[in-house]
């Protein structure tokens, strides 16, 4: 069975996850959030107080991992883990590790027809031959406001100005890095997610008509 792959890329807090969940539910596609895997690795390093400036230490620890959980958890969404995920994501061996997890995920779900995968490099590097590529665009103030609300709603203490700084800093790191920087993938459709979700899904529904 030929699998259908939809990729969603975009900057921090641009709503990739919400859009991916919408597609996953409506078309019964399996959703994979690649950012969650970077966050999982960051959490392991953080919990074990591994010096993340030391590339060899990160490498040694990652090589020892037998199994990594794909489960979401509130602990993964803190500001500290967001920053750390972005910091370790610059290394090619970290990226290769996460990419292999994504390939395994798709190949092990033999009976699944379609996958929707979100991240920073999914359409540009990981699944270059995807059937449909989306790139989500939202201005940074709106992204920070939405992320702030999300954190407050989940009971986390947070300050809007700090979130805005975090979003801008991560954008800079993700766009400027040498390995798999955040770009608009070749052939991607740009989705404007500045307005209401209804406005966003109207754009998605049109593009998904053939699936
Ligand atoms: O949810 P949000 O957009 O804030 O972040 P995320 O998708 O969970 O990703 C967390 C961090 O992981 C990002 O800031 C990136 O540095 C990194 N990441 C990446 O480099 N490549 C991906 N495909 C996904 C995430």
Which among 73, 85, 133 is the best mutation to test ligand 1's pocket, defined by most ligand atoms within 8 Å of the CB? 85
Query: Which protein residues are within 6 Å of ligand 1, measured from CB?
Result: 12-13, 16, 34-35, 38-39, 82, 85-86, 89, 119-122, 170, 174
The β-bridge partners of 116 are 6, 31
Q: Tell me the C-alpha distance between 55 and 75, whole Å.
A: 24
Tell me the pTM.
0.96
Which residue has tokens 């939405």?
146
Looking from the CA of residue 10, the nearest atom of ligand 1 is 3
Q: What is the pLDDT of residue 46?
A: 97
Tens digit of pLDDT for each residue in 89-124? 999 999 999 999 999 999 999 999 999 999 999 999
Domain extent for 141:
4-207
The pLDDT value given to residue 154: 86
The b-or-e profile of 117-151 (16+ CB within 10 A means b, else e) is bbbbbbbbbbbeebebbbbbebeeeebbbbbbebb
Query: Concatenated DSSP letters for 72-141?
Result: --GGGGSHHHHHHHHHHTTSHHHHHHHHHHHHHHHHH-TT--EEEEEESSIIIIITTT-SEEEEEE--HH
Q: Say which CATH number the domain at 102 has.
A: 3.40.50.300
Reference 136, options 200, 211, 198, 181; nearest CA is: 200
Domain count, the chain: 1
Q: Residue with the nearest Cα to atom 17 of ligand 1?
A: 86
Any bridge partners for residue 66, and if so which?
none
Reply yes or no on whether the pLDDT at 129 is more than 90: yes
pLDDT tens profile 22-46: 999 999 999 999 999 999 999 999 9
Radius of gyration of the chain (CA): 17
């Amino acid at each position: 069975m030929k699998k259908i792959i939809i990729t969603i890329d975009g900057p921090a807090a641009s709503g990739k996850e919400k859009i991916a969940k919408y597609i996953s539910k409506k078309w019964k596609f399996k959703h994979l959030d690649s950012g969650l895997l970077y966050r999982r690795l960051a959490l392991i390093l953080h919990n074990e107080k591994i010096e993340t400036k030391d590339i060899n230490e990160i490498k040694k620890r990652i090589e020892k991992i037998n199994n990594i959980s794909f489960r979401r958890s509130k602990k993964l969404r803190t500001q500290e883990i967001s920053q750390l995920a972005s910091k370790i994501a610059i290394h090619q061996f970290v990226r290769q590790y996460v990419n292999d997890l994504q390939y395994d995920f798709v190949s092990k779900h033999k009976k699944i027809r379609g996958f929707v995968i979100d991240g920073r490099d999914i359409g540009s590097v990981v699944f270059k031959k995807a059937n449909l590529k989306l790139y989500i665009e939202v201005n940074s103030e709106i992204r920070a406001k939405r992320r702030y609300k999300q954190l407050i709603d989940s009971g986390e203490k947070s300050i809007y100005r700090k979130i805005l700084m975090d979003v801008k800093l991560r954008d800079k790191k993700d766009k400027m890095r040498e390995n798999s920087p955040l770009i608009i993938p070749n052939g991607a459709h740009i989705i404007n997610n500045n307005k209401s979700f209804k406005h966003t899904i109207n754009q998605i529904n049109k593009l998904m008509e053939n699936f």
